Structure 1
């Protein structure tokens, strides 16, 4: 092959117009052979996922997260399961939920319809592309693709879900069954979240929780479908950089392709997928609400050269207009208030003014 032909077949890391990045990673891959990661996606050497085997921060084995059996949580073993739940939230900030109330068919339909959304033409996906973080529907690539120095190797579709009648008319109409499937899934995950939240409050010793549960019942729900295309150089980039989730609890549905890593004992470890299980993690709001007893943990997403990966995160919290603060029942002389009150507006103002970095926002809420 002549040098000229080689240059035509493989696009340079630097010759992609800036406007093309706004159209997502899948669009870049669809335009032709992409044998190198474009410069815009390459992380500084110290932030890349693959390091030398001598590096003490690299852990090869996968991590088996604590497993919470939802059926047992609702049965006579509830006291023991609540203790397992408390330990998982304190020591890992993550757990896998099995034997839950959402059927395999509902979960499979959700991943299937999201996959079909990303399989559509750019013209169809572009209808929902915007950099407005407040948009009820947003298709994009990085969290703030106009400000982020390095972009994520993923495309996402964000949907606001509660109250459902308010947001459903904004959702995509293609695929034709998209609204029906996603609405059903959103309602079922909302119910599951409320049952889990009641258990979490109980595990914190907050038993008179009717008022709190009513607030969560009227709380926010946001769905984030993530598509991670195969990557020609997965050691140079990430599907998502290290971050914690803004919210109370996240319920993650993922396919069987490994990718999720959490920071455990200062090391990055890969979470083993369990078929038809949810990966559930503590968000920043729960860390604040528990006055630091339960921790939101840094996590990131790897990509790979051979396979694409699909996940759907259902993020739940208090209403967007609500103030989040440590529960008064968890604050006292021996356990002083550790976080200042916060709200969604403060969060948006913070992340809109700078590039998000790890747990910076939560750190800014801590009282010295």
Structure 2
């Protein structure tokens, strides 16, 4: 039995390496007209359970209009909506966030254009150096996960030690990506002010703590998959950072775990999706919740495009440790998490495939 298991593992690794070395990604597989997916993409039954049977109810993640969010003082009803969504859903969709619809459309179009180039044009950016400024790859966690997922990614670090220069960004989408970085930071700063107020903190507290100081964009394509019931676009996971801002085209696929149900997230024209990361759950002492989400493999002939920006802390404390914010702790609400270090945070993320709340579980008191 042991020999058989080792043989199966060896075969899988051989397939993984061949797929990786091809630099063609799943877009290349899809374009080649394959009718069956390679076995490295087939997920175990427990990952696929209930995949095509999400909640039959009509519930949706909260939709919040930010039209008057810049008023001074901030409208209390918007603060309350943001707070409640972050506490009960961990996900919400915002409209009238200040980014022109033309910029949303141009960003999606530019990312689609990058991914639809011939392999030869994209392969020069192909890499597995996750902390490099620009990286094109398929499955960041390909060598760490149990099964590969049906998507390719263009990753660009905007701020932080791995920050890319404009010249490093592929020319076909360079202007749009550089412009998107400014737009999405402004929108995220607005949301983070409201989230801080929702905790009873000063509006500028998250900016003071550098919560949008380190940013990375991962721009995915989910090409047509001939066997979408056997794989996933992205496996169920929670995000590790502060908040995540998602721009997507009209092709549906994102699902959010709410209670015991998987809820389909319907794209709203002009909308951005925001979700809470594990780090923010910890520093808010559990007031805000990071929530599992996943993406279904795309059974549509048209590709699904999503542009995800992760916002992370850039300035760690001198002690190099973080935990629940002291301002939020009282005798009635003591800390429910211990402090953790930057090294612990990074090692937890890069040592394995995508998962859910693993750091939170490790540091829970």
Mapped pair 1:334 → 2:332 = yes
- Which residue number in structure 2 is paired with residue 281 of structure 1? 275
Residue in structure 2 matched with residue 6 of structure 1 by the alignment = none
TM-score, structure 1 normalization: 0.87
For 2:195, the equivalent position in structure 1 comes to 200
For residues 86 and 205 of structure 2, the distance between their equivalents in structure 1, rounded to whole angstroms, comes to 23
Map 1:1-368 → 2, pairs under 5 A: 17-22=15-20, 23=23, 24-30=25-31, 32-48=32-48, 50=50, 58-61=54-57, 63-75=59-71, 78-162=75-159, 166-169=163-166, 171-175=168-172, 178-207=173-202, 209-210=203-204, 212-216=206-210, 219-307=213-301, 308-319=303-314, 321=316, 323-367=321-365
Paired residue secondary structure (2:175)? helix
More displaced 10-residue stretch of structure 1: 261-270 or 126-135: 126-135
Cα distance in 2 between the residues matched to 1:108 and 1:52: 29
* CA spacing shift, 1:284–1:99, aligned 2, 3 Å: same
Answer whether contact 1:63 1:271 (CA < 8 A) is retained. Answer: no
- Computed over aligned residues only, the root mean square deviation of the Cα atoms, in angstroms, reads 2.5
For the Cα contact (< 8 Å) 1:194–1:216, is it kept in 2? no
Gaps of 5+ in 1: 1-12
CA contact (8 A) 1:289 1:327 kept: yes
Q: For 2:57 and 2:167, how far apart are their aligned partners in 1?
A: 43
Deviation at 1:134, TM superposition (A): 1.7
Q: Distance in 2 between matches of 1:19 and 1:319?
A: 34
**Contact 2:256 2:294 (8 Å CA) reproduced:** yes
Query: CA–CA distance in 1 between the matches of 2:162 and 2:175?
Result: 12
SS at match of 1:68: strand
Contact kept? 1:131, 1:146, Cα under 8 Å = no
Q: In structure 2, how many angstroms separate the alpha carbons of the residues matched to 1:242 and 1:225?
A: 18
Larger displacement relative to structure 2 (98-107 or 304-313) = 304-313
Cα distance in structure 1, aligned partners of 2:100 and 2:160: 23
Task: Provide closer, same or farther for how the CA distance between residues 347 and 268 of structure 1 changes in structure 2, counting only shifts above 3 A.
Answer: same
Deviations 1:102-121 (A, max 9, x none): 00111111111101110112
User: Is the contact made by 1:136 and 1:170 (CA closer than 8 Å) also made in structure 2?
Assistant: no
Q: TM-score, normalised by structure 2?
A: 0.88
